[in-house]
Amino acid sequence: MFDRRKRLRREGEHKAASRPGTDRRTAERRQEEKRQGDRIAYPIGAAPEIVNIRSQVVGLSVKAVRFFIPDFIPKKLALKKGDKVNIALKFHDGQVIRRSGTILRLDKHHSDREYFVLLFERQLPQERINKEWAYLLDNFPDFCLEDFKD
């Protein structure tokens, strides 16, 4: 009995692994990993288009879209954190999804571009994200994931 306990401890397993709270932590970790997997970073030219704002989408999740506006001059344009924005996303297959949301964050990139993260009021359908994954894997297999908080 004692040898088994020692062996389990050496292998990283111990009594706490059977506690109910451990399952919750594991589920939270899995949820975090799943959330990371639902974020898509787009190669140039493959991203959906925001048809009502001249912008370039760089990332998308069910909860948010990350984009930049070419030639954005912060002092001249009034797009800032906390603003409510309505957008229409046009995808590669022609589907247009309209969403409203709030500018959650502005990030300054090393290329002096301002990146905006728009948090949707209503999530995108998971099926749409799955279609985007399939499209990118078929047409741009070398794309990469980008972490952006939503």
Q: Tell me: the pLDDT tens digits for 32-79?
A: 544 444 788 888 889 999 999 888 999 999 999 999 888 766 555 667
Of 114, 104, 133, the closest CA to residue 37 belongs to 133
What integer pLDDT is reported at residue 141 of this predicted model? Answer: 78
* Contact call for residues 120 and 20 (beta carbons, < 8 A): no
pLDDT-above-90 percentage for the chain = 39
Domains belonging to the chain, first-starting first, are 2-36 (no CATH), 40-139 (2.40.10)
Q: How far apart are alpha carbons 146 and 140 in whole angstroms?
A: 15
Q: Tell me: the pLDDT tens digits for 20-30?
A: 455 666 555 55
Summary mean pLDDT of the chain: 77
pLDDT-above-70 percentage for the chain = 63
